[in-house]
Each structure stands twice: as C-alpha cells, then as structure tokens.
Structure 1
Amino acid sequence: MSDREREPGTAIPSPHRSAARSLSALFGRRPRLALSALLVAPVGWLVLVYIVALLLLLITALWTTDSFTGLIVQKWNLENFKQVVMEPLYRTVTLRTLGIALAVTAIDVLIALPVGYYMAKVARPRTQAILVIAFMMPLWAAYLVKAYAWRSIFSDGGILSSLGHSPGLGLAATITTMSYIWLPYVIMPVYAGFQRVPNSLLEAAGDLGAKGWRTFRAVIVPLVWPSVIAGSIFSFSLTLGDYIAIQIVGGSQQLLGTLIYSNVGTGGNMPLAAAIAFIPIVIILVYLLLVRRTGALKNL
C-alpha cells in the first residue's frame, strides 16, 4: 500500500518500533534469554576487571627484576614464589596478618551479635532507625580521618597518655583501629539476619520453657549464623588487604599489605609484590571454601 492509498490518520509503522516489539516479544517468550541479556554487561565487566586482572597479576609474578638495572625481565620462572614460600620473613608476616584478621573478625562478631539482636528485636522502631544511622555514620567519614583519630588516642601524648596509660602504637592499636573501621560491615548483615528471624519462634521457645540464653544459643544463633559468616567475610578480607592503618597506628609492625606496598613503591619490585599478593588471595579462597556450605555466600 502506497502512502497516497493509506487512510488519513493512519500512522506509518516505524522499523525501529517494529524491531523493539519483536525483541520484547522474544524476551517475553524466553525469560532465560532476557536474564542472560541483562547479565552480559555486568558479567563482562567482572571478567575484564577481576579475572583478567588476576591473570595479569599471575603473569607479572612469573617475571623477575634485574638486581642491577631494576628493570623487569619478562622471562617466566617461579623464583618469586619460591622466595615467598622459603624466606622466614614472609611466613612471619603472613601469620601475623592472619592472626590480626582473625582477632578483628572475632571482636567485630562479638560486638555485632548483641548489638544486632537489640536493634532488631528489642529496640523500638525509632530507636532502631537511630542506631542504624549511628552505626552507618562512620562510613561517611574518611578512612584516614578515622585511622589518625585512633593514632591520637594510642600515641604518646594522646588521650590515653593524659590519663596515665600509654599503650603506644603496635598490634593492639592496629587491632582496635581495624575493628572500629570494619565494624559496620559486620553489624549490618548480622542486624539483617536477626530481622529475618520470626518472632513466633522466640515465643514458641519461651512457651516450651527455654530461658533467654538457651533461646539465643539454640534457636537464634543457628538462624543468623549465615549472616554472621557473611559479615565475617567482609572484616576478614578487608583486614587481610589493609596496608594504610598498619602504617598509621602499627608502629614498626608489618602486614602483607605493607610488604606489597613497599615492593611496589620504594622497592620497585613489581613481580615480587605480585607474588606476595597471592598470599591473601589464597587465604580468602580457602576461607570461602570453608564457609561455602553454611549458606553465608547467599547473604552477600
């Protein structure tokens, strides 16, 4: 039908509009295809930024640095990994980093459990909202501000020193600082887990004669345990990779993050730094494999 023969007021179909309708009909008939189309961009970005970055990190770790010129020699070998495994320095720093990460995670979990329970099951709605804002507010402050604030507390001439007790900078200051910085990342998943616990279960436990502590231990904790593990993943992994707080409040102590930073910056040994970076990556993968069956990964 020509444009002259078309009735007045009849719209001319647009090829773009027809294609959009056909595509919409296709996705309507095949929801899995629509979901795949939506995931193409984020999955592609994840592969590009994360997977490709890990492959480049591995390739860099297989290179070496010329001790005379300081230039990178692009000849593949395992010398950097042998050095990381064999030298006592890296084993000592790895154990120290792992111990600090476990201590920070344990402290945050012990704080998050009672706080999350009070926020979700005891506090009134208005108090609950105030507490959520209060625990989220530290995230609005800059990381360096929080780290230097704790330095002013622990260092000589700080607040504790004026009270007659000066612990100084070191592992205690590092653990305290990191526990404070990563605490919101643990409290919020735990709080969300407590919110999902039905009040009817608590009432049923009370009707059956269970006291408060027994109800908390036998009924509540198993239900919120995946959320606890989810929060622990945040604090554990963030502590493993941190290299700023230890430099500000840790005194002369070293963690894996500071070793990586020193080899990238002042040392100029990128291949060795890449090999060291695989230590926290392997630790995190092992930790994720251990908690895989708890269902915690579904809470991330």
Structure 2
Amino acid sequence: MATSVIALGGNAILEKDPTDIGQKETVNRAARYIVEYIKAGNKVAICHGNGPQVGNLLLQQNAANSKKNPAFRLDTCGAMTEGSIGYWIQQGLDNASKDLGQNIKSLTVITQSEVDKNDPSFRSPSKPIGPFYTKKEVIELQKNSNDMFIEDAGRGYRKVVPSPKPIKIVERDIIKDTVNAGIVPVVAGGGGIPVIVEGNQIKGVEAVIDKDFGSEKVAEGISADNLIILTAVDSVYINFGQENQKALNHITVAEAEEYIKQGQFAKGSMLPKIQAAILFVMDHPDRKAIITSISNLPNISQNAGTLITDK
C-alpha cells in the first residue's frame, strides 16, 4: 500500500465565495476525490495552503485591534487557520467517507516547521501579507515596531515578512505514526507554522513558509512514496498561455531543471511546485511526484497529470 502526501492549495479552497460556507463546499468536493483515492488502496496525509485565509484573518485582526483586544501575531494566525481549514477537511472527509461506504478516520495536527534563524530571507523580508496602509499609517506603525513595509503595485503599503525554507517538520514522527495507524492526518497548513530552535526551546517567528516546500518536508519526513500537488490545471505546461503551449506528461529532474533555466514556470505559481517535486524525487528512483488538478486525482493511476521522477 503506497503512502502519498496530497498538497491542496489555499487558492483552490477559496475559489469565489470567501465565506466559511463557500470554502467548506469547495473542500467537500476535494474531499470526495481524496476519499476515492484512499478507497483505491492508498495511505494519505493531507497538506494545505492558507494564503487567502490567513490574509483575511489578518485583516479581521487588524480591523479590531486595540489595547484591550490586540491583534495576534502571524504565527498564531497561521495556527488558527491550520485549525479552521483542518476542521473543514476533516468534516468533508467524514461526510464523503460515509457517502462512499468507507470508514475513514482523520485528525488535524497543528504542525510546526523548523527554519534556520540564519536563513537569508530574515535579512531581506519580501513576502507581502495582510492589509494595505497609507504612507502616513506606515510611519505611525513603525514608531512602535520594527516591521518592514513595501509599496505593493500602487495600491498602498503592506507589511513584508521572511519566507524561509523549512528544514524539518517538528511533528513528523507523530504524522508518520498516524498514517501507519490508518488515520488520515491533515498537517502542515500553510507550510506549517515557522519556528526556530534556541537551545532546547522552540519559538514561533513571523514568517511565511511556502506550502509546496512544507508538503515536501512532510513527504520526506514520513518516507512517503508519492508527493501529489493539486493545483488549478490538469498538467504542467511549457509556453503556458501561448499558442504553442504543451502539456508535460513525464519529466525527469534534469528536464525540469532545464525548463526552470528557460523561465518556463511562474515564480509565485508553478515554480515552487516544480522545485518541491525535484527536492522530493532527487536521488530517490522509487519516489514519484505528480502535479495535477483536484478532479484528476482519481485518474493518477491512468497517468493523469505531470509525473516527475529522478530519471
């Protein structure tokens, strides 16, 4: 029985309706595909993004911010969205499981991702998060903090935070034991809560981990056979959006790296998915990474999507 880590994007959860009801409906559709995949004889751990959700939460936190009701830090907001999205996924899996005659159990693991406190991103924060501010508001905000802000596309100023690479998943052994027990863990939401280790203590930091790199670390940590990254398109394309665009059915690490050099993959979109896939399969001929759409998940055994292997 193969073990797969399935990575579900935050943007795939928040399609059009930003309410919790609307997002739960999207999760319910994805959950049905995941249950069908499990029914076919696969062990699964589920990771998910949280970009839109944590952004909305930060807006809500800042809107109600006061001395008596202070806004929470980013790491705590990340944990809150891990819990809320995990709840949606668990409920979706439970309902789909009953509909399909299965008895699938799941749980959410609030997951911490260790990062290097000397990661270069801490010296050059570049990931915009949260609400937009005027220049006057930024000046006032910086009087009482060391937060950094940048102008974002002419729409105002936004706080920027580091985006370090994860080193390892703190709860990886718990996740592996859960999978081996036949339970589906929902883990590493938003790439996991970024933490640093100081002595024998763990400390949360204000940063954002890319969901795809977090998912890769989960897959690596539990010795998964497959890393399945679900996105908005059925396959990876070269020359995407052009008349000569071409779907890629199977590429090797060497071919993927050559396409990266050519600038074929967008930085904030397909590139981190390809990079995470490369990290997972490199030097492991028995591992596979697949990038495809949610609806294509049941068709993976029929070679749906883009397969990435070491050679």
TM-score w.r.t. the length of structure 1 is 0.26
Return the TM-score normalized by structure 2: 0.25
Q: Which has the higher helix share?
A: 1
Max radius of gyration: which structure? 1
